[in-house]
């Protein structure tokens, strides 16, 4: 079932690239969340998008970026170190793609998430989203505009 604008975002807890658990609830009443699903670490389009997010400094006092893939946390740790990614990468590796499925972002025939992004406000409500195919990059300028509208 697609995630609708104005509905509560599905809760989750996933390990970040350092193996520490991160929950959506950790940011309730504290920060807006840019929840970004991407197919795979170390691939061209994914690397470009995550580098753009690092350069655009979306992770701030008011907003946290949580980038989710089905890669293992060890892979994500190596990816973040290699690319200088300065925000949290979350592993949806096991149960494989369960959070991506909850956000209608999992491609079962491919075994990974598509390019889906959700802007979630401090109350845990989805306020903006975009879903692109695995080969179609997203624009961080769109994220900035969605955050500015909150």
Under a CB-based contact definition with an 8 Å cutoff, are residues 118 and 136 in contact? Answer: no
How far is the C-alpha of 98 from the C-alpha of 73, rounded, in Å? 15
Active-site annotation holds for 27: no
CATH assignment of 13-148, given 3.40.30.10, 3.40.50.720, 1.25.40.10, 3.30.70.380? 3.40.30.10
Spans of all domains in the chain:
13-148
Query: What is the share, in percent, of the chain residues with pLDDT greater than 90?
Result: 79
The catalytic position among 46, 67, 76, 89 is: 46
Model pTM above 0.75: yes
Query: What is the share, in percent, of the chain residues with pLDDT greater than 70?
Result: 99
- Give the tens place of pLDDT for each residue, 70-107: 999 999 999 999 999 989 999 999 999 999 999 999 99
């Amino acid at each position: 079932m697609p995630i609708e604008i104005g509905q509560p975002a599905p809760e989750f807890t996933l390990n970040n690239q350092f193996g520490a658990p991160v929950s959506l609830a950790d940011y309730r009443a504290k920060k807006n969340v840019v929840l970004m699903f991407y197919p795979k670490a170390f691939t061209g389009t994914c690397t470009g998008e995550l580098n753009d997010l690092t350069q655009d400094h979306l992770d701030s006092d008011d907003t946290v970026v949580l980038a989710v893939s089905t890669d293992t946390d060890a892979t994500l740790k190596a990816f973040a170190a290699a690319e200088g990614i300065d925000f949290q990468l979350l592993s949806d590796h096991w149960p494989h793609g369960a959070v991506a499925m909850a956000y209608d972002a999992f491609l079962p025939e491919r075994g990974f998430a598509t390019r889906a992004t959700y802007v979630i406000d401090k109350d845990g409500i989805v306020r903006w989203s975009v879903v692109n195919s695995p080969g179609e990059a997203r624009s961080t300028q769109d994220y900035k505009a969605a955050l500015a509208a909150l």
